[in-house]
Amino acid sequence: GASREGILVKGSNYLEILSKTKVVVFDKTGTLTKGVFQVTGVYPAPEFEGGDQGLVELAACAESYSTHPISRSLKEAFAGDVDPARVGDVEEIGGYGVTATVDGKQVAAGNGKLMKKLGLYPENKGIPAGTVVHVAVEGRYAGCILISDVVKEQAGEAIGALKAAGVKKTVMLTGDAKEVGEAVARELGLDEVHSQLLPGDKVEQVERLLEETSRSGKLAFVGDGINDAPVLSRADIGIAMGAMGSDAAIEAADIVLMDDDPMKIAKAIRISRKCLGIVYQNIVMALGVKAVCLILGAVGIANMYLAIFADVGVMILAVLNAIRCLFVRKL
């Protein structure tokens, strides 16, 4: 029934855990947002002589071998084609950015943490909220590029649906700047947000939340990127976005949403609770009918027909009741 709705569950035990979920933790990019980045501003440093297009060209060349959505947006913003012969010594640093040699010059493109690692401390005052890619050339700050992501249309509705389904807390973890994370959290009505996190920091945040919720319920993490794989494995239940998600995230997750629709998370929880409800109904019905027949048999009232009903009849009733699990569209 869940598979018909585009929700792939890897085992019945995950349905049981999902029904007890009280905290849902989200990654931002590709999960609550579309992961479709666009360059919305270019701010070269005064001492950089290449101008706007020159700054975008350097960043696009440095990011030319990366498949990250931000890297794709930089390559799309560059008017020409990147010649692979111009780029060498590429090193992608998880949670920081990329360093490469472009036309014989050492170029670094990434977040503020990468700049600090290089001993550079850009101020970037007056730049609107968004993902900022800083660029340095030969150890000197060259400027920054503003990239904006778009929140999924269903994301706000999905958060409301989770609250209606009994989820007590919704949390977002992101590697983006604090201003970006807080802006998205306010727009969607999230209870908690933590920004500027490396993949290891996300694991630490999830472990902290697991300790807080261990007695009251279970914790689910929703992500799509290769950096989310460790957190998906660590959470009580891992949910991956299947359409745009990485193979590592899909492999590590316990549940996969095939169309990346966050509304399916609340639906999956309702499906799991309906399934568990039917299971408990069947258990109570089977044990109850058998107990009554045993008592009637002990006092000499039960006959062979009643005994057959207590065995085969109860089984048929349980199967018919279980068929209700197939009908989930109205949930």
- Annotated catalytic residues are 27
3-state secondary structure of 199: helix
Amino acid at 258: M
Inter-residue contact 240 to 232 (CB < 8 Å): yes
Segment holding 42, helix H or strand E = strand 38-44
The DSSP code for 49 is -
List the 169-173 sheet strands across, edge first.
7-9, 255-257, 237-241, 218-223, 21-27, 169-173, 192-194
CA–CA separation, 224 and 204 (whole Å):
18
Q: How many CA atoms lie within 13 A of 132 on its CB side?
A: 24
CA–CA separation, 109 and 319 (whole Å):
59
Full DSSP string of 133-195: EEEEETTEEEEEEEEE--B-TTHHHHHHHHHHTT--EEEEE-SS-HHHHHHHHHHHT-SEEE-
Inter-residue contact 228 to 27 (CB < 8 Å): yes
Q: How many CA atoms lie within 13 A of 163 on its CB side?
A: 13
3-state secondary structure of 244: coil
